[in-house]
Structure 1
Amino acid sequence: MPCATGYPWPFCGESNNFKANSSYQSHLSLVAASLPKNASTSPNLFATAVVGTIPEQLWAMGLCRGDVDATACFNCLTQAFRDLPNDCSYNKDATIYYNPCMLHYSNDQLLPEDDDSGGLYTITTTGNVTSDPVRFNRLVAALVNATADYAAYNSTRRFATGETSADFDSEFPKVYSLAQCTPDLKAAQCRKCLAAIISQTLDDFQNLIGGRALWINCTYRYEAAPFFNGPAMVQIAAPSSVPVPAAAPTLAPAIQPSYGTPAAVAGVGGRKYSLPNVVVAVVLATATALNLVVCLCFWRRRRRRRPTAQAKQPYPKYSTEAEDMEMVDSMMIDVSTLRAATDDFDESNKLGEGGFGAVYKGVLPDGDEIAVKRLSQCSTQGIEELKNELALVAKLKHKNVVRLVGICLEQQERLLVYEFVPNRSLDLILFDTEKREQLSWEQRYKIINGIARGLQYLHEDSQLKVVHRDLKASNILLDANMNPKISDFGLARIFGRDQTQAVTDRVLGTYGYMAPEYLMRGNYSTKSDAFSFGVMVMEIITGRKNGCCNSGMSDDLLGTVWEHWDAGTAMETVDPCMAAGSFSEGDVLRCIHIGLLCVQPDPVARAVMSSVLMMLGSDIITLQAPSKPMLFARNTAGNTTLSTVSLQG
């Protein structure tokens, strides 16, 4: 199968450089070690990463074509991380395109709503159509728009391929097309992005046998020769025909990247870029009847300029009150149904009880098992907290976040209906001397990794930026395969995308898990969640609960682990229930190290979850030396409190 020539194409920012051996360069090396694997193993062949803090924060994105396999994806992105830093030396903002993949990194994070993400570039294939060019141009317009529709609305990968049907005029060249968006775009966002670049570039492609438009969030391409794997997803028989989806595509052998010089490249709008080692030309096309048609169709969809840092709209864009009400109404379940499902909240069905009320197991008439959180009348979770939990959990969809399936606000009942998680909460197994024997190191590591993935989703990847504020072992549920799910969002708060922290005079949470700055001053952020995660890492490894009377040189878990770490005897803190030889000491010590980095006294020094996942997933990344955590101690009343002094060696 012929492949397009001319790759790779690097595009470099003209300003905003970083220095050698800087934090930004370290962040780039960190991401290069993990992002190719994360993208190639994801169902959508797509991954993002955020490392560090502003102004040295690095945001990276890797995307592979939807018709390549995981091996080609991994190899392509690995090559990209080798090539791009050389092609764009010390540029904080750089992008490179290959046939199977593209890589972009910057110190400025692109959000899914940013349709005009960076500069737009057009690539043309040498050669003009000689037979009936007007008809050919109409055919191209019809095909690329049909392919764009399919990519946006019929593919979870936001990817589609197309072709003209075999019975098309034999004197005409057969045309092939491809359209793709980043999978984090919603269907409407994807189609809007593709519509924008199609409307801006079709004029440049008049009478040409091939062309492609490269944008970071979306791209499209057409050629008079096949260039993609597998059968086309869309076929059209004539310029005015309605596209008919073809049979489901299958993956063929991977496309390998090829190298060379493109026929022509043109930058359109966006940031100013330089294009190393590439001849830059502007393709001037003769106006035809199609020009007018395209302009009339798309003049309303002019490209929206990317807002400046001062003018950028707040993120996330909250839904309207009407949308929230419609969502709530669609999730309503009759109280009679829930009473029948739980045998009228019989004690035998009680799964547990917390400060906000009890949780009961139930079975719906269709056989689905559920967990019903029944808020008590005297619950400290009032209407505000209830609305907060509803607004949050209903919008969160991740395998490591518990799923809300319904609500009930009838007969003075306040009921939240969740998916049933059969192994209940982590604390019921972890802190039980008999049950925790079933937790192998493999399962414990899986739980640690899953919690980190759920937190990364909440902090960085979800539509909402969520700070949980009450992470603890009892709020981590375990499904039938021991996959963890973060639950109980009654205290959670939504942050603006650029917001880093908030302050409250109402400190709520659980002692032993609360970060020192939150407990003492009411400051909370994603870094306070990172602290709670670090505590749970220590608990999972040791099988001990923080803030209890643990044996050791200190009367709190963090102090015990630190003192053993400082003395070089950290393996002595490992849960004796894990049989010797069933785990790698190096893996365990690395997790303890990561846990200590998450409980640093200074929030700025704590790792963000994307970095935690990289550190968990690669043993070649060098970890910084941790500082001493702050000391938790029990007061005379037996409650767990926080000492304002650090542990002394």
Structure 2
Amino acid sequence: MFILAGKHLFWFSFIFIYLTNTTTVLAQPPPFFHHICNQNAGNYKLCSPYQRNLDTALSVLPTTNSGFGYFNFTTGQGNDRVISFALCRGDVEPALCQNCLNDSIVLLRERCPNQKEAVGYYNECFLKYSNETGNEDDVDLPNDQTTSDVNRFNGALRQLMDRLRGEAAAGGQLLKFATGNISGPDFSTIYGLVQCTPDLPEQVCSDCLEAAINRIPNTNLYGRVGGRILQSTCNFRLKKKKRKVLSREESIQTETIDIHTTESLQYDFSTIKAATNDFSEDNKLGKGGFGAVYKGKLINGNEIAVKRLAMNSNQGDIEFKNEVLLVLKLQHRNLVRLLGFSIEGKERLLIYEFLPNASLNRFIFDPTKRTLLDWETRYNIIKGIAKGLLYLHEDSRLRIIHRDMKSSNILLDAELNPKIADFGTARLFKPEETQGDTSRIVGTYGYMAPEYVLHGHFSVKSDVFSFGVLVLEMITGQKNQFFRNGENLEDLLSFFISFRLGKAGGMEHHQIS
């Protein structure tokens, strides 16, 4: 990887090597297995230009995904410049990658509250921010196990890594990633995984991986079957054994046990499969982070919307249980109605009422459809969403924070009445509670309140902030992250803040949709 900053290039790549004879199931990201708060890089003061730039960089960073888990964003000038970047392991699915980065942003700010340079490592991703390029992090993390035959082990490891290094380096500009295995001493198998950031030149990637492997004899990893080398240019890991985690089937059984108490709402899987024409592409209404939504028609003629959770989603079962047990307790004309669910093997289905006009974002951002939304209709939609939120926050017997209020999660019925949908990330509050804290940030950037993005604090105010962004989109017909002001592209919130402060020109000439 290289980030262009002035005349400097900053490179980062990393390697994972596993030695194991067991199958690994990805678990939820644990706390950092290692992090560094670089005292030598200096500290910043509260409300300083550097802190403002850091806040901006870490807010924008999750929106810069290259498509394969590589993120980078630089802002500011001179000593107040912030260079931020992150990389997910190449075999991590998108939802887990995004969650890992969200966790890293919150946790790294907590661990390094005022350092200008910090780095944090999860098993699934890596995050670093700094005010300058070229600073090296060099840490050896060996484990206690040793190999009984160092020469044979290193010989097999060398052969495997030479092969994977070539495959990864030649991976192109989208993904430099390779995995494989080889037989080791004492009937063991060495599993290897190597990766460079996608924009690292092929030769530089190859050299970086080569240098990391060559360092082993000069570190505490020599003769060990587990450990890591962490540095800004390369990250090396080998491991003989992993702790056992629950299989997906065990996890599913644990997470859905309470759902079976609502058997009257359980649909037969074959019935839903037939209703959606075997989940055909023609019936697909859309796709989200945890699965696709399909239109279906039951034998009695009733139309339904079926949310099919992705089988490879590590958070899918948690979301499934959350949505079933939560939404079944909610009844309001401005909330989408859950009709039931279906469970068979690894399949998880949520069955909702079908709303023919789909989601609000398909109207307000479509040049043709938004002409159907006159100001009275827009006002009624905004009022309906507000009523739904008030019910969640104050009027239901539960107090619920939605945490992902956005235009695509507002569905419209035949009369264009709004209904709040997608409660997979919602949180239940006790009546006496007013605020919660989390290290796992979920939702959609651009709609999130600053205190939630940066510190993990959420409350009814977080939903109200998101609702405010949605209202701005309703008024302008512009997406919050891509607001066009003349020939310039800005983000909607920054533009309106500048306009309110009298710093944005040209608003009197701007076309409001």
The TM-score with structure 2 as length reference comes to 0.48
Q: Which has the larger radius of gyration?
A: 1
Richer in strand (by share): 2
Greater relative CO, 1 or 2 (CA 8 Å, sep 6+): 2
When the two structures are superposed, what TM-score results if normalisation uses the length of structure 1? 0.38
